[in-house]
């Protein structure tokens, strides 16, 4: 069954329509009016249209005054917005059929383009394409437009009042704009290693200099930090059978320290130092069943205001967040929580990772979208949906409890949904539960 998006938004040039020939006509007009020309081989490469007109002038006429470039750009814009009749602008093959199908399915559609609003409106009207779209927005309406495409897309999506729209474009900028507003959800059966996986990922992001704001609604911050030090001790251990590595309990239990050898203590010191090198980018917020959306949103806003950095947000886990309304069912509350987190990711242009539990009915089955079905609207609202499962799940005779007893556990990470890229193949992982450590393979 195909996913039904609540709105479909498009870029225009290069996505819906081939506009290159008419754009080149306006560029030639602007150059010609100022006594300049464009070589045919230069105009034959449509990638040059991605450049500013001032940049094209500087490339073709090195040393020319900046004022000339600005005048050419103004003349190009005037021609394209007011004089060009767009005779050679055409929709790509099957685009009309796609737009007609979306209309028939009553799925709202829109356009977000870097063109001027005036030009885009003229093209849609003259070509008879206005009826295909609920709205459109051109963003070059004034010389004071300083918003980036991420901001433009966020504002435009907000106008549709939906957290489940898909944006279709043809450039890296379009992809980055879509990805910047994202909600990632990872699910797995109980006690398989969801938290350990996400904290290892958080530590890796911190090691790269990214702030990570962790909302831990089950575990204490010192427990998570001890797990990270334990993992570092495991990764640093080159001894036979890794006898120097310590578990989280071995890190925390002071009674054991008196029995450690000098070498063991030095090894733990090295593990602590390895963690300390990036721990300054990990920010913990402890919570419980009374921790609600208002607190999460206010702490995100406070972090941005105080540090000037937009953090990656990790929530462990969704089903513990306090209900929005005590009169709602669990599913209704989770629907609203997921939508609110999605909107928060758009509002602040940040990535949110949320951990989710699975239905018990799916414990021995291969991970799929069905595992999230009774957990609110996760499968609809998430931009990326990940499932962590034991290798062999769903096969005859598979028992999840037996797989949990293995050391290391043989797991797989499956991408169940990805709005911005292909799903790819499952990623094989080895999980060492005593040390909260994942390795590929």
7, 165 Cβ separation under 8 angstroms = yes
Q: Which residues of 404-426 are buried (b: 16+ CB within 10 A; e: fewer)?
A: beeebbebbbbbbbebeeeeeeb
**pLDDT confidence of residue 7:** 80
- What is the rounded average pLDDT of the residues 217-245? 91
Place of tokens 């769903």: 394
Whether residue 316 has pLDDT greater than 80: yes
Mean pLDDT of the chain: 85
Residue pLDDT, tens place only, 278-294? 999 999 999 988 899 99
Whether residue 434 has pLDDT greater than 80: yes
Query: Higher pLDDT residue, 48 or 275?
Result: 275
Strands 109-113 and 7-10: parallel
| Percent of the chain residues topping a pLDDT of 70 | 87
355, 187 Cβ separation under 8 angstroms = yes
**pLDDT confidence of residue 132:** 93
Place of tokens 């709105």: 7
Residue pLDDT, tens place only, 147-169? 555 556 656 665 665 555 677 77
182, 352 Cβ separation under 8 angstroms = yes
- CA–CA separation, 299 and 287 (whole Å): 12
Q: Which two tokens stand for residue 321?
A: 């967040």
Residues 6+ away with beta carbon under 8 Å from 176? 149, 150
Residue pLDDT, tens place only, 64-102? 998 999 999 999 989 998 899 999 999 998 899 999 999
- What is the rounded average pLDDT of the residues 195-217? 93
Query: Higher pLDDT residue, 141 or 55?
Result: 55
56, 70 Cβ separation under 8 angstroms = no
Q: Which two tokens stand for residue 68?
A: 């000339």
- What is the rounded average pLDDT of the residues 130-154? 66
**pLDDT confidence of residue 173:** 52
- What is the rounded average pLDDT of the residues 311-326? 90
**pLDDT confidence of residue 374:** 59
- What is the rounded average pLDDT of the residues 197-224? 93
Q: Return the closest-CA partner of residue 73 out of 41, 33, 113, 42.
A: 33
Whether residue 384 has pLDDT greater than 90: no
Residue pLDDT, tens place only, 354-382? 998 876 666 778 888 777 765 556 777 78
Strands 312-316 and 351-357: parallel
Query: Higher pLDDT residue, 218 or 168?
Result: 218
- What is the rounded average pLDDT of the residues 382-396? 86
Whether residue 25 has pLDDT greater than 90: yes
Whether residue 420 has pLDDT greater than 90: no
Whether residue 203 has pLDDT greater than 90: yes
- What is the rounded average pLDDT of the residues 398-420? 86
| Percent of the chain residues topping a pLDDT of 90 | 41
Q: Which residues of 305-344 are buried (b: 16+ CB within 10 A; e: fewer)?
A: eeeeebbbbbbbbbbbbbbbeeeeeeeebbbbbbbbbbbb
**pLDDT confidence of residue 3:** 46
- What is the rounded average pLDDT of the residues 340-366? 83
Q: What is the 3-state secondary structure (H, E, C) of the chain?
A: CCCCCCEEEECCECCCEECHHHHHHHHHHHHHHCCCCCCHHHHCCHHHHHCCHHHHHHHHCCCCCHHHHHHHHHHHHHHHHHHCCCCCCEECCCHHHHHHHHHHCCCCEEEEECCCHHHHHHHHHHHCCHHHCCEEEECCCCCCCCCCHHHHHHHHHHHCCCCCEEEECCCHHHHHHHHCCEEEEEEECCCCCHHHHHHHHHHHHHHCCCCEEEEECCCCHHHHHHHHHHHHHHHHCCCHHHCCCCCHHHHHCHHHHCCCCHHHHHHHHHHHHHHHHHHCCEEEEECCCCCCHHHHHHHHHHHHHHHCCCCEEEEECHHHCCCCCCCCCHHHHHHHHHHHHHHHHHHHCCEEEEEEECCHHHCCCCCCHHHHCCCCCHHHHCCEEEEEEECCCCCCCCCHHHHHCCCCEEEEEEEEEECCCCCCCCEEEEEEHHHCEEEEC
pTM over 0.75: no
């Amino acid at each position: 069954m195909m996913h039904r998006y609540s709105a479909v938004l498009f870029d225009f040039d290069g996505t819906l329509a081939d506009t290159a020939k008419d754009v080149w006509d306006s560029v030639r007009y602007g150059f010609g009016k100022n006594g300049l020309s464009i070589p045919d081989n230069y105009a034959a490469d449509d990638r040059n249209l991605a450049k500013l007109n001032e940049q094209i002038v500087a490339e073709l006429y090195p040393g020319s005054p900046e004022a000339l470039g600005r005048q050419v750009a103004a003349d190009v814009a005037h021609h394209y917005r007011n004089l060009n009749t767009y005779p050679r602008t055409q929709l790509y093959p099957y685009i009309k059929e796609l737009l007609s199908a979306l209309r028939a399915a009553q799925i709202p559609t829109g356009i977000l383009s870097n063109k001027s609003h005036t030009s885009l409106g003229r093209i849609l009207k003259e070509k008879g394409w206005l009826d295909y779209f609920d709205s459109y927005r051109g963003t070059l309406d004034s010389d004071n437009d300083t918003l980036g495409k991420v901001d433009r897309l966020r504002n435009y999506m907000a106008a549709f009042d939906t957290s489940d729209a898909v944006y279709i474009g043809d450039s890296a900028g379009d992809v980055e704009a879509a990805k910047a507003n994202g909600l990632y959800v990872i699910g797995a059966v109980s006690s398989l290693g969801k938290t350990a996986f996400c904290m290892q990922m958080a530590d890796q992001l911190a090691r790269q200099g990214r702030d990570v704001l962790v909302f831990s609604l089950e575990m204490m911050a010192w427990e998570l930090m001890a797990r990270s030090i334990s993992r570092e001790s495991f990764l640093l251990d080159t001894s036979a059978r890794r006898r120097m590595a310590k578990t989280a309990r071995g890190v925390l239990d002071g009674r054991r320290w008196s029995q450690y050898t000098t070498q063991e203590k030095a090894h733990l010191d090295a593990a602590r130092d390895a963690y300390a090198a990036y721990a300054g980018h990990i920010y913990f917020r402890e919570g419980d069943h009374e921790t609600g959306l208002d607190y999460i949103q206010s702490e995100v806003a406070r972090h941005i205001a105080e540090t000037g950095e937009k953090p990656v947000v990790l929530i462990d886990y969704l089903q513990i967040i306090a209900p929005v309304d005590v009169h709602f069912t669990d599913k209704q509350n989770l629907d609203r929580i997921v939508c609110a987190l999605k909107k928060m990711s758009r509002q602040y242009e940040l990535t949110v990772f949320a951990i989710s539990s699975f239905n018990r009915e799916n414990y021995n089955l291969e991970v799929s979208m069905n595992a999230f079905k009774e957990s609110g609207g996760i499968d609809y609202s998430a931009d990326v949906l990940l499932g962590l499962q034991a290798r062999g799940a769903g096969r005859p005779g598979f028992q999840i409890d037996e797989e949990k007893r293995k050391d290391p556990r043989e797991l797989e990470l499956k991408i169940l949904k990805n709005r911005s890229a292909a799903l790819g193949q499952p990623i094989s992982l080895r999980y060492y539960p005593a040390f909260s450590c994942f390795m590929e393979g």
